[in-house]
Amino acid sequence: MTLRVATRGSTLARWQAERVATRLGAEYELVVVSTTGDERAETPIHAMGGTGVFVKQVQEAVLDGRADIAVHSAKDLPAVTDVGLTLAAIPERADARDALVGTALGEIPTGGVIGTGSVRRRAQLASLRPDLEFGPLRGNIATRIEKASGFDAIVVALAALERLGLTDHVAEVLDPRVMLPQVGQGALAVECRADDDPMAKALAGIDDPLRRREVEAERSFLETLGGGCDLPCGALAHADGREVTIDVLLASLDGRVVLRTAARGSEPRTTGVEAGRALLDEHGGRGLVEAL
């Protein structure tokens, strides 16, 4: 039986879908889907509502029976899984950090222009370098690299460059203390129908328990904030066999206010919630969320 894998059509998305299918050891065909985020390539992500713009139509292909599984970048998923689906596997996670293409941060001249479509990246860079200007940047990885010459630097996920063999374009990898990544960044996520027990069992065989714990903590943090990629927030968790630690961030759009805290615990979801509540209730984050 041929496994039908729903995916976006970009080179990176296809790579991810094929990677999952290969790990399952299955014959497969790709069900390529165009998403709202793909079709409105000139519109800033936050202006489209942010959450789910790269996954909704891919998920619908599974829900309506055109595909058996959907493969996503975990960072594109809303914090809460849609009814009718289950997040059946987090099979692997590459380096979660962000990278600059073009020029290293300390070498960008005063008043330099950074290309990014992410409010999270923009807020953190503006906090570090209030002199910087920002320009919109959308498109797949190849398109972004082509556009890099129009800026002093652009910001992209290091994992994407690694997976496509494009790390020679990296000018600097940004330490999480400088740039906290998006929730789920670098991780693959695989969904199937909630009532498809055989498929869920097959996907459980490629699930990485530690990476799942990390992503669960980060997603619980995001759910606690009540937002998605339209919020200037970030999180990065690290799991070992017993505990999960998570560093989290929430900022104002202009980067003048950046709130950070951390949490540690044995249960990933509880730890993520604790981190989110600490930002909201102990560090002034609730006022930021209401303003946003």
Q: What is the mean pLDDT of residues 31-54?
A: 62
pLDDT tens-digit map of 1-29: 899 999 999 999 999 999 999 999 999 99
Write out the residue limits of the CATH 3.40.190.10 domain(s) in the chain.
Answer: 3-91+187-207, 98-173
Per-residue pLDDT, 58: 94
Per-residue pLDDT, 51: 60
Q: Note the Cα 189 to chain centre separation in Å.
A: 10
- Evaluate if residue 43 carries a pLDDT over 80: no
pLDDT tens-digit map of 179-235: 999 999 999 999 999 999 999 999 999 999 999 999 999 999 999 998 655 789 999
Average pLDDT, the chain: 92
Per-residue pLDDT, 34: 84
Write out the residue limits of the CATH 3.30.160.40 domain(s) in the chain.
Answer: 222-291
Per-residue pLDDT, 227: 64
Per-residue pLDDT, 289: 87
- Evaluate if residue 60 carries a pLDDT over 90: yes
Residue 48 pLDDT level (bands cut at 50, 70, 90): very low
Catalytic residues: 76
Q: Which CATH number fits domain 3-91+187-207: 3.40.50.10490, 3.10.129.10, 3.30.460.10, 3.40.190.10?
A: 3.40.190.10
pLDDT tens-digit map of 238-254: 999 899 999 999 999 99
pLDDT tens-digit map of 79-95: 999 899 999 999 999 99
98-173 in CATH: which number? 3.40.190.10
Per-residue pLDDT, 36: 65
Q: What is the mean pLDDT of residues 66-73?
A: 97
pTM: 0.93
Per-residue pLDDT, 195: 97
Per-residue pLDDT, 228: 58
- Evaluate if residue 39 carries a pLDDT over 50: no
Superfamily of domain 222-291: Porphobilinogen deaminase, C-terminal domain (3.30.160.40)
The Cα 100–Cα 106 span in angstroms is 11
- Evaluate if residue 105 carries a pLDDT over 70: yes
Beta strands at 133-135 and 3-7: parallel, antiparallel or unpaired: unpaired
**Sequence letter at residue 266:** S
A 10 A CB-CB count for 281 gives 10
